[in-house]
Amino acid sequence: MDIILQAVINGLLLGGIYAVVALGFSLVWGVMNVINVSHGAFVMLGAFATYWLFVLFGLDPFVGAPLAMVALFVVGYAIQKYVINLVVRAPIYMTLILTFGLDLLIVNLGLIAWSADFRSVNTAYAGQGLVLGPLVIPYARAGTLLLALLASAALFAFMDRTRTGNAIRATRMDLEAAEGVGVRIDRIYALTFAIGAALAGLAGGLISATLPITPIMGLTYTGKAFVVTALGGLGNMGGALVGGIVLGLAETLGATVFGPGYQDAIGYVLLVLILVVRPAGLLGRAYYA
């Protein structure tokens, strides 16, 4: 029983990270119809930015991660404005290839700069946690979940309450109508991609607080983003949050039942099953079919 409870706790904590990774990925896909395969590369950049802030300036990863988020926002804005916007209306597989090219470029430059070695952010509180009887809640992971939930709440408020957020939602719902009422599509696209990259950067920073990082870590998280997006429904932000938590729980519970080797396979089997049974995701409907 304790093992199951601990697995649930670990799953919730892991799911928070998956949710933030998938939020940005799902947003970009839903609004622009672009599958950003380089999303994982942005996660990696966020992780390394946080790592270097920690190593060079002694900045705590929970301070570094928001700074990485700002940096990735700028990078994302520039990439969308000067590269992806040029071909954003091409068939979906063209933008897929484009972002795969970006991914190759970023990851391999990262490999040259930082080598493939694993690195860790060794904080004073690493490995410590709140002990509740037989259960342990690691501080770093709890902080990660907290920041993940805060970021999601901020994003939801932004999309709901601000004019710009509403413009993004309008663009997602009906591109031509949004253009007709004066929404500058190119800027909205750049902003959307910037938010997506910023969330990836934040997720990377949070990951670096709890797990070892390497320049080739991104692909795993692109894969997770795929699974969560399919679970939650394309472009559905509430769905991304729920989907992230569901995937985290499914992985840790599955690993407890079937053995740790199957943790990643469970996610993909779940993905295919969900797609076949409920192509629009667990919640809500698809924006693009």
With binding defined as CB under 8 A, does residue 114 bind other proteins?
A: no
CB of 59 or CB of 96, closer to other proteins: 96
With binding defined as CB under 8 A, does residue 60 bind other proteins?
A: no
Q: Scanning residues 8 to 27, which ones bind other proteins (CB under 8 A)?
A: none
CB of 109 or CB of 130, closer to other proteins: 109
Strands (E), the chain: 129-132, 135-138
Phi, psi of 145 (to 5 degrees): -60, -40
Among residues 17, 23, 102, 159, which is the contact residue for other proteins, using CB under 8 A?
Answer: 102
CB of 6 or CB of 85, closer to other proteins: 85
Instruction: Look up residue 134 and give its two tokens.
Output: 């037989």
CB of 70 or CB of 86, closer to other proteins: 86
Among residues 6, 214, 264, 284, which is the contact residue for other proteins, using CB under 8 A?
Answer: 264
With binding defined as CB under 8 A, does residue 284 bind other proteins?
A: no
With binding defined as CB under 8 A, does residue 186 bind other proteins?
A: yes
Contacts of 8 (CB under 8 A, 6+ apart): 249, 252, 253
Q: Say which residue the tokens 């404005």 belong to.
A: 81
With binding defined as CB under 8 A, does residue 173 bind other proteins?
A: no
Q: Say which residue the tokens 């490995």 belong to.
A: 127
Q: What 3-state class would DSSP assign to 136?
A: strand
Longest distance between any two alpha carbons in the chain, whole Å: 60
CB of 123 or CB of 263, closer to other proteins: 263
Contacts of 210 (CB under 8 A, 6+ apart): 138, 140, 141, 144
Among residues 9, 19, 31, 35, which is the contact residue for other proteins, using CB under 8 A?
Answer: 35
Using CB atoms within 10 Å of the CB of residue 259, give its burial: 0 to 12 exposed, 13 to 18 middle, 19+ buried.
exposed
Q: Among 168, 268, 284, which residue's Cα sits nearest to residue 233?
A: 284
With binding defined as CB under 8 A, does residue 149 bind other proteins?
A: no
Among residues 189, 191, 193, 247, which is the contact residue for other proteins, using CB under 8 A?
Answer: 189
Query: What one-letter code names the amino acid at 17?
Result: I
Q: Scanning residues 190 to 229, which ones bind other proteins (CB under 8 A)?
A: 219, 223, 226-227, 229
Asked if 68 and 201 count as a contact pair (C-beta separation under 8 A), the reply is yes
Please give the C-alpha separations between residue 96 and each of 46, 55, 93, 207, in angstroms, as whole numbers. 22, 35, 5, 25
With binding defined as CB under 8 A, does residue 36 bind other proteins?
A: no
The residues that touch other proteins, with contacts defined as CB under 8 A, are 29, 35, 83, 85-90, 92-98, 100-109, 112, 185-186, 189, 219, 223, 226-227, 229-230, 234, 259, 261-262, 264-265, 268-269, 271-272, 275-276, 279, 286, 288-289
